Amino acid sequence: MADAHAQHHDYHLVDPSPWPFLGSVGALVTAFGGVCLMEYLKGGSFPIFGFNIANPWLFFIGIAIVLYTMFAWWSDTIKEAHEGHHTRVVSLHLRYGMIMFIASEVMFFVAWFWAYFDASLFAGEAQNYARHAFTGGVWPPKGMEVLDPFHLPLYNTVILLLSGTTVTWAHHSLIHGDRKGLINGLVLTVGLGMLFTMVQAYEYMHAPFGFKDSIYGATFFMATGFHGFHVIIGTIFLLVCLIRAMKGDFTPKQHFGFEAAAWYWHFVDVVWLFLFASIYVWGSVGAVIEGH
């Protein structure tokens, strides 16, 4: 009945999916398990019905449920695409979903940028005695040694800008039916994404400040680290697209999975440019640069 309906309309009726419910359960277990994990790490207790559940297992069980839901749900989405169920309306709604997802990610970064600019622009605010004591009334905080923005950060900027070019090349090749160009472009983009992560990890290991040393370190690592996490997710996203491309998936007219990955990757690129300009370059003005 649903198939007959789909032949005459833009909508396709499918059986109710279990994945939204299971994903919600996984998110709840992960959030609750995160509280238990934090209690466990600080040596506290979390007694419920006489049992101390302050342990890491609930958190990892929740993560496992979420990861399984992601794999199964997206597998079903790919299967439905191959079966021809992605009508014009379904494809449009997939795009709406991806746009809303990226918009929600933008708001995450708004929070980190807000924290950074609030601390940096009002470092000497008289009403905030604790902040003034930590910063000395200046930004970067008095005596803080910061990273050279034109060393590893600039190198990573070039890497991400280049990766934006290669993913665009891959998309252009796909539209014109050049599968070899699609695969080569994705291979380069995934490789550049991995290189960015390795450079950032090296930068973190040699940073002259820590997360809990000052408000500068906290805002720096939250903003750049959250972006680094998005680079890892985007690299995995593109790696899956590469595997699918090598298997023969995607056509010039139907390739939203790859298109969504490209949108996400460009979003990551744009956020990094803001991070580089505001946190690395502007945030180092007047500070002691590491190694100088």
28 and 48 together in one domain:
yes
Q: What is the DSSP letter of 163?
A: H
In the predicted structure, residue 1 carries a pLDDT above the cut 80: no
Instruction: Provide the domain count of the chain.
Output: 2
40 and 129 together in one domain:
no
pLDDT-derived band of residue 3, with 50, 70 and 90 as boundaries? very low
Structural domain ending residue among the three candidates 54, 84, 114: 84
Examine residue 283 and state whether it is found in any structural domain, yes or no: no
Residue-level pLDDT at 283: 86
In the predicted structure, residue 280 carries a pLDDT above the cut 90: yes
Structural domain ending residue among the three candidates 52, 84, 116: 84
Question: How many whole angstroms separate alpha carbon 166 and alpha carbon 162?
Answer: 6
Average pLDDT over residues 275-283: 93
* Segment (H or E) for 52: strand 51-52
70 and 99 together in one domain:
no
pLDDT-derived band of residue 2, with 50, 70 and 90 as boundaries? very low
222 and 101 together in one domain:
yes
User: Which structural domain, as residue segments, surrounds residue 42?
Assistant: 17-84
Residue-level pLDDT at 6: 44
41 and 75 together in one domain:
yes
Return the CATH number at 26. Answer: 1.10.287.70
Structural domain ending residue among the three candidates 84, 102, 117: 84
CB-based contacts of 230, cutoff 8 Å, min separation 6: 105, 268, 271
252 and 200 together in one domain:
yes
39 and 116 together in one domain:
no
Examine residue 44 and state whether it is found in any structural domain, yes or no: yes
Q: What is the mean pLDDT of the chain?
A: 88
Residue with tokens 């919600």: 24
Residue-level pLDDT at 15: 67
Minimum mean pLDDT range among 129-133, 228-232, 244-248, 259-263: 129-133
Q: What angle do CA 66, 69, 71 make, to 5 degrees?
A: 110
Question: How many whole angstroms separate alpha carbon 147 and alpha carbon 136?
Answer: 19
109 and 241 together in one domain:
yes
Residue-level pLDDT at 45: 81
pLDDT, tens digit, 9 for 90 and up, residues 217-252: 999 999 999 999 999 999 999 999 999 999 999 999
124 and 241 together in one domain:
yes
Q: What angle do CA 111, 112, 117 make, to 5 degrees?
A: 100
